[in-house]
Amino acid sequence: MLSDTIQKTLASLNLEKVAAGDYGKTGYHVEAAAQPDQMPAVAQTMLDLGCFLESLTALDLKESFTLVYHFANFDQLCRTVVHASLAKTAQAPTISHIYAGADWYEREVYDLFGIRFAGHPDLKRILLPEDADFHPLLKDFGATQENA
């Protein structure tokens, strides 16, 4: 079973947490938590196991960021999520040299959150104009509507 293989291989990388996910509730087969510096190794492992990077995004948890990496596989259904907690002013290492698709995802995270990725070939804004000076998905970026 691919999820077992992934769990075993990820466990050997000394991550903070590697566990089976509750698929019915969350949609994940494997959940993991890692340090941002371990992400290139994680990405390389997932690539070697034949998984593709489905999505790369971030959460602004006010005191810190969490980078969220989603992986999936074409041949066998196995969704893996890796959360990486990042300090507010820290930089995360890029994985664009492992997954070419991560290039644009990291640019988007930089654009919307201001998180920089060390080693990225061309970290510039992708959705907002290049000279914009704000990061809109940060929690302290003013909401325009209070409508609940």
Partner 1 sequence: MLERGLEEKTFWLNLGPQHPSTHGVLRVLLEMDGEYIVKAEPVIGYGHRGHEHMAENRNYHQFLPNMGRVDYLHALAFNQCYCMAVEKLMGIKVPERAEYIRVITAEMNRLTSHFLWVGAYLMDLGAFTPFLYCFDDRENILDLLDRLTGSRLTYCFYRFGGVPVDLDDEFIAGTRAFIQRLRRRWVDYDNLVTKNIIFIKRTKDVGVITKEQCVQYGLTGPMVRGSGIPYDIRKSEPYSAYPEFDFEIPIGENGDVFDRYIVRMREMEQSLRIIEQALNRLPEGPIMAEKVPKRLKPAAGEVYQAVETARGEFGCYIVSQGDIKPYRIKLRVPSFANLSILPEASVDNLVADVVAILGSMDVVVPEIDR
**8 Å CB contact between 71 and 46:** yes
For helices 39-48 and 2-11, the axis angle rounded to 10 degrees is: 150
Amino acid at 103: D
Indicate whether 67 belongs to the interface with partner 1 (CB under 8 A).
Answer: no
Indicate whether 2 belongs to the interface with partner 1 (CB under 8 A).
Answer: no
Count the Cβ atoms, other than its own, within 10 Å of residue 48.
10
Separation CA 65–CA 61 (nearest Å):
6
Give the footprint of partner 1 on residues 7-66 (CB under 8 A). Answer: 24-28, 47, 50-55, 57, 59-60
Of the candidate residues 1, 63, 89, 129, the single one contacting partner 1 (CB under 8 A): 129
- Site residues (CB under 8 A) for partner 1? 24-28, 47, 50-55, 57, 59-60, 68, 70, 72, 74-75, 77, 79, 81, 99-101, 103-104, 108, 112, 125-129, 136-137, 141, 143-148
